[in-house]
Amino acid sequence: MCETKVYIEKDGKKEEILENVINIQSEEDGLLLKDLFGEQKLVKANIKYIDFMKHEMVLTESENDK
Amino acid sequence: MCETKVYIEKDGKKEEILENVINIQSEEDGLLLKDLFGEQKLVKANIKYIDFMKHEMVLTESENDK
């Protein structure tokens, strides 16, 4: 199984926001994360990196530069 | 194992660009994909969605709107 733990980077620190994520979708206003249990979370963030071996994804907060 | 197949969407069709991807990193000028065998590919694209259960990631070509 490939569920992934998603973190957001704030002030140089990683904060966990959702685990067991199985699906991520780019939306107009952010990234929509879905976990194994149906929970959804929309975060205003961009993907910094994904490590599929560590099952880890790190996001950065999106700036209002769009 | 969680290697992922990466596609890019062009004219509504999915084209495979790299498989066995284990790491993805956001760079200034695109997304840097790395596969299990050390191959790297930099693509000017954005992530549309990632399906961790299907081991599938779909990108869209980035427009010159930055």
pLDDT digits (tens, 9 = 90+) for B7-62: 999 988 999 999 999 999 999 999 999 999 999 999 999 999 999 999 999 999 98
Residue A21 reports pLDDT greater than 50: yes
Q: What is the pLDDT of residue A66?
A: 42
**Average pLDDT in chain A:** 92
Task: Say if the Cβ atoms of A26 and B49 lie within 8 Å.
Answer: yes
Domain ranges of chain A: 4-61
A4 contacts B52? CB cut-off 8 A = yes
User: Region A5-19: what's the mean pLDDT?
Assistant: 95
Q: Which of A24, A48, A52 sits opposite B21 (nearest CB)?
A: A52
Distance from C-alpha of A46 to C-alpha of A66, rounded to nearest angstrom:
12
Number of other residues whose CB lies within 10 A of the CB of residue A28: 5
Provide CB contacts within 8 A for B31, sequence distance 6+.
B24, B25, B42, B43, B45, B46, B47, B59
Instruction: Tell me which residue of B46, B22, B32, B42 sits closest to A62, measured CA to CA.
Output: B46
In this prediction, residue A25 carries a pLDDT of 97
From the list A47, A49, A52, which residue is nearest B4 (CB)? A52
| Chain A environment of B21 (Cβ under 8 Å) | 52
Considering CB atoms only, which of B3, B47, B55 is closest to A47?
B47
- The amino acid occupying position B49 is Y
The complex scores an ipTM of: 0.88
pLDDT confidence of residue A62: 83
pLDDT of residue B62: 83
Does residue B64 have a pLDDT over 60? no
